[in-house]
Homo-oligomer: A and B are copies of this chain.
């Protein structure tokens, strides 16, 4: 049996769910993959949890937090020990990054990833920031350092976009991808079509159901889709574009008349993130498009996501679904952690 050790950065919604899954799935991961996982440290704001390099009792810690206990009141708490210093001084195989995303400087994840690469540790990240902002720099430095960066949780999480686009297409060349990569906007467009409502009314419905955020800009203006496209396109095609290279339009301008017109033509309007090579140049866009009713993405409704790859020797392969929630994101992190051990 293999045994790997983790440092978790961030104990918010996703971080806690992930730590919980490491406990809950221990038996399953061992049975299926002959793998045991230890959490040896956890970094949070203001300090870190450590146990002299030994495994932390994660189940007890989560129970302590669940019953109202604070991190600070735990004997494992080292006040003021920040993530980068924790990583620099703690032996581990993998850093799991779950801190909130910043698309300005990628912090604090950028510093965590830099510290991990200094020690040649693998990185599993749910945080899009550093990879969207510094894709080339990060991947180049990771290669030099002998670190690997796993980004499933940042590229639609439980929907296995990159597993299918990289591992399953290893006998083919990917010609293009098209995806519905954002559940909130797909929910809004689905509801507009179903009920004939305006964008504003459908957005309000999504907000009332907790699907859209109070400030929905990142989703509805297509930034989230564009971010995922940057990561997916770079990984699939081995390129290094940035967010500025994506032709991006949100869904705020889609009218009931647009949707009615598409329906009358046997089409359906979706926010499509797509990428393909055109004479060696990577062309990536994230914008509303009317697709045919028999297109494999046409039946993806409400907050479901999907991605479709067109390949030369394997034809078209489409994958859809995957839970959109902190648990789904945590499960994607756990999958990538398992992959650090499965993949050479």
Chain A positions near chain B (C-beta within 8 angstroms): 21, 25, 28-29, 31-33, 158-160, 163-164, 166-173, 238, 294, 296, 299, 301, 308, 311, 313-324, 327-328, 330-339, 341-344
Q: A21-B171, A170-B29, A343-B342 are in contact. Are A322 and B315 (CB under 8 A)?
A: yes
Chain B residues, Cβ within 8 Å of A339: 167, 170
From A160, A166, A301, A314, residue with most partner B Cβ within 10 Å: A314
Q: List residues of chain B with CB within 8 A of the CB of A166.
A: 32
A159 surroundings in chain B (CB, below 8 A): 317
Residue pair B319, A171 in contact (C-beta under 8 Å): no
**So how many copies of this chain end up in the complex?**
2
Main SS of the interface on chain A?
A: mixed
Complexed CA–CA distance, A163 and B167 (Å): 8
Asked if A319 contacts B317 (CB within 8 A), the reply is yes
29 contacts between A and B (CB under 8 A): A25-B171, A32-B238, A158-B315, A159-B317, A160-B164, A160-B167, A160-B317, A167-B167, A167-B339, A167-B342, A168-B335, A170-B334, A170-B339, A170-B342, A171-B337, A296-B320, A296-B321, A308-B321, A313-B323, A313-B327, A314-B328, A314-B331, A315-B321, A316-B322, A317-B322, A320-B320, A342-B344, A343-B343, A344-B344
Question: A314 and B332: CB pair below 8 A?
Answer: yes
Instruction: Report chain B residues within 8 Å CB of A319.
Output: 164, 317-320
What separation, in Å, do the CA atoms of A340 and B159 have in the docked complex? 24
The answer, among B294, B320, B335, for a CB contact under 8 Å with A171, is: B335
Which B residues are CB-close (under 8 A) to A341?
Answer: 344
- What's the minimum C-beta distance from A166 to chain B, rounded to whole angstroms? 8
Is B342 in contact with A328, judged by CB distance below 8 angstroms? no
Chain B residues lying within 8 Å of A343, measured Cβ to Cβ, are 342-344
Across the interface, do B314 and A171 meet the contact criterion of CB distance under 8 Å? Answer: no
CB of B314 within 8 A of CB of A317, answer: no
Chain B's nearest CB lies how many Å from the CB of A326? 10
Residues of B within 8 A of A168 (CB): 160, 163-164, 335
> A296 to chain B: which residues have CB within 8 Å?
320-321
Nearest residue, chain B, Cβ from A317: B321
A292, chain B: closest CB distance, angstroms: 13
Give Cα distance in the complex from A136 to B344, angstroms. 27
Which residue of chain B is the closest to A333 with respect to CB atoms?
B171
Question: Smallest distance from the beta carbon of A142 to chain B beta carbons, Å?
Answer: 15
A188 to chain B, nearest CB (A): 19
In the complex, A31→B239 CA distance in Å? 12
